[in-house]
Amino acid sequence: MDFTDRRLVFRPGDDGYDEETAGFQTGFAQRPAIVFGAESADDVVAAVSHAAQAGLPIGVQATGHGLPGSSEGGVLISTRRMDSVRIDADARTVTVGAGVRWGQVIEAAAAHGLAPLNGSAPGVGAVSYTLGGGLGLLAREFGYAADHVRWLDVVTADGELRHVTAQTEPELFWGLLGGGANLGVVTALEIGLVPVARLYGGAIEFDGREVDPDRVLRAYEAWTRTVPDEVTSSVAALVYPDIPQLPPHLRGRYLVTVRVAFTGSEAAGEVLVAPLREIGPVVSDSLREMPYTDSHTIHSDPDFPHSYYGDSVVVGELDVAAASELFALTGPAADAMHVVQINQLGGALAKTVGPSGNAVPYRDAGWLVRVLSPFEGADLVAVRAVQARAFGLFAPETAGRLLNFAFGAGDRPDGLYDAGTRKRLAELKATYDPANLFRRNYGVTAGG
């Protein structure tokens, strides 16, 4: 890379600097000393080498749904231009560049009757999502996205571009998948696709002021005990703000929603969801047969940039009484808006894949509890206090937290890995990044 090329290099005050540092997450400002807009792996090599020579911390950003780590006063590598997608329909794989979003892969794979193991929001970066594990719409049937990676190209702190497989560098392969952006900059990876062209799914919504949320929770938890691994689902609760930007039927409404994705037939799906429809009167019911390209409608996540702070805990069994108290804490009586989601885990998520496995932790957990809170300015202090109370309800059952759902809370590293995984990642850190250039370390440093 020519560091004088102003099209690719941005410093504070330059035209394009603010655009280059902006992301989907607007709640936390970034002020790196220099931004490199990478278009190729060679550009990433040059940027990492420059940072290493200068002793500057490195952050990496594709779409900006999460945070790139400690790039303050350092180097930010923007990978959004590296957006190539190559499908191998015969091998059922896709090779994606570092800046690819899942929506691109969904569309490309659908032409071949295939689907990726993406999450609920198609605007999320495929590579960063996968490095954090990747808990997707079909997770209980197929496992984590990280479980399906074949190889990765990664630039490590020494400026070397490595082609990493489970056979060539098994330990690094293990650590990259689940270890996040702590060991290098992944410029591309190849990942398996699944033979899914359609599914049965959608959401069934209850008015939380008319149907007791505790009733929904207890019915949902009982229902999950009866479903096969081909069903991946969650229950969520949200008080919509009373603002003109929303459709009139949502303004100020408190909705408790069960979301379902099932790869079986429509007839079988109708039988499976019948108990959910018996919980009480519904506000809406979108459960239906759909092409996989419509799978984003199951969650209908917002697609516009905004500020948010979120965290999660994983637990063995779901304490429904604690979940009910959580809904009360974050419901209509709360002083601010909070989005709560509880995901059933298990199934393929509990299985270790391949001879080397990967660093995705807590596979024996049965449930994921998430709280995400939009905020503005000083409201973050109050948001953190509410979330501390919320997750404290599950303390007796908590095994840890999941990296991909620490939205702004990644600066609190406790619980992101179990002790054995953290020790193994620290050994890799000492080998591949002893100077700690990649400071999105989640509590894992070369020192242990």
Q: How far apart are CA 49 and CA 287, in angstroms?
A: 51
Mean pLDDT of each 10-residue bin along the chain, 448 residues long? 64 92 84 94 95 94 74 90 98 98 98 98 96 97 97 98 96 96 96 98 97 98 98 97 82 96 98 98 97 97 88 97 98 94 98 83 97 85 94 97 84 88 96 90 54
DSSP codes of every residue in 32-100: -SEEEE-SSHHHHHHHHHHHHHHT--EEEESS-SS---S-TTSEEEE-TT---EEEETTTTEEEEETT-
User: Which among 160, 133, 166 has a CA at the least distance from the CA of 66?
Assistant: 133
Tokens at 19, concatenated? 């655009």
CA dihedral 440, 441, 443, 446 (to 10 degrees): -150
Given phi > 0 = left and psi -120 to 50 = alpha, else beta, which region is 184? left
Q: How far apart are CA 74 and CA 71, in angstroms?
A: 5
Q: How far apart are CA 428 and CA 301, in angstroms?
A: 36
Pair 426, 448: CB distance under 8 Å: yes
Q: In what order do the strands lie in the sheet with 93-97?
A: 85-88, 93-97, 185-192, 149-155, 161-165
**Residue 58 confidence (pLDDT):** 94
Instruction: Name the helix (H) or strand (E) containing 284.
Output: strand 284-285
**Residue 28 confidence (pLDDT):** 79
Q: How far apart are CA 80 and CA 104, in angstroms?
A: 13
What amino acid occupies position 302? P
**Under DSSP, is residue 161 helix (H, G, I), strand (E, B) or coil?**
strand
Q: How far apart are CA 119 and CA 402, in angstroms?
A: 14
